[in-house]
Amino acid sequence: MAKERLDKVLAHLGLGSRKEIHRLARAGLVYIDGQLVRDAAFKFDPTLCRIEVNGEEVVYRAFFHLMLHKPAGYITSTGDRDGQPVTALLPEEWQRDDWMPVGRLDKDTEGLLLLTTDGELLHRLTHPRWKVKKRYYAELASPATPADVEAFALGFELDGEPLQPAELSLHADPRKVELVIREGKYHQVKRMFAARGNHVTYLRRIAFGPLALPSDLAIGESRPLEADEERSLYEAVGLPSR
């Protein structure tokens, strides 16, 4: 990795704004490989050096990933132009300017939403070529039928666009279903059922690729991905963990 400025590295790690990091350095609270560094413009390779701030070691990482249990009423965006963004739900210590949502959930849709700072991972997880599965739980205005199961499995056109085969499973009450899709077209789940003459009254994403929505992650809550969860996401799209 090329050498980076101290203020850029520590800001990337969420230790404050560049102005705040300049103050930390001037106060004598930053050590690189055991050496006091007071110049925030100091350049070093953070992947090779030991970083200590205010007496604690800071582990460098290139990318960050979170899972969020999205509630209804929030938009899958990092800006607030069209409503309250999902990033408003994150605690202060996880607020960043470079979060990118992995796929979108409608404003009234709940469930598992991944956030990442890795653009290549985002691209692969959302590109149809990689056929990453997204599983949804839906409640319908009318009962789904075995004919719907067959139609989804065969694939059909949606407004002139061919869809990849999907897996529809009916609960004991056929107005409650689970659906697995491998692409992410605009309002896809709702439009698929509308094409079959039905209407989605409630929708929740319960899994994305190898990750399922944890039962202990309350609605509106978020947490960083664990190391094995990160690895499974990268493996799902043929990337090495980084």
pLDDT in tens, 166-175: 999 999 999 9
Same fold across 4-58 and 65-236: no
- Residue ranges covered by each domain of the chain: 4-58, 65-236
Identify whether the C-beta of residue 120 lies closer than 8 Å to the C-beta of residue 185: no
pLDDT at 159 > cutoff 90: no
- In this structure, the number of other CB atoms found within 10 A of the CB of residue 51 comes to 21
Helix (H) or strand (E) holding 30: strand 30-32
**38 pLDDT band (50/70/90 cuts)?**
very high
pLDDT in tens, 111-149: 999 999 999 999 999 998 999 999 999 999 999 999 999
59 — phi, psi (to 5°)? -90, 125
Q: Hey, what are 103's tokens?
A: 């796929």
pLDDT of residue 80: 65
CATH classification for the domain delimited by 65-236, as one of 3.90.1150.10, 3.30.2350.10, 3.10.20.90, 3.30.365.10: 3.30.2350.10
pLDDT of residue 83: 84
**66 pLDDT band (50/70/90 cuts)?**
very high
pLDDT in tens, 75-84: 997 766 778 9
CA distance 52 to 30: 6
CA distance 125 to 145: 31
Report pTM: 0.92
CATH class of 4-58: alpha beta
The alpha-helical segments, DSSP class H, found in the chain are: 6-12, 18-26, 119-126, 146-154, 188-195, 227-236
Closest CA to 104 of 94, 95, 114, 116: 114
**Which of 10-14, 78-82, 122-126, 220-224 bottoms out in mean pLDDT, i.e. has the lowest?**
78-82
Provide the annotated active-site residues.
Answer: 106
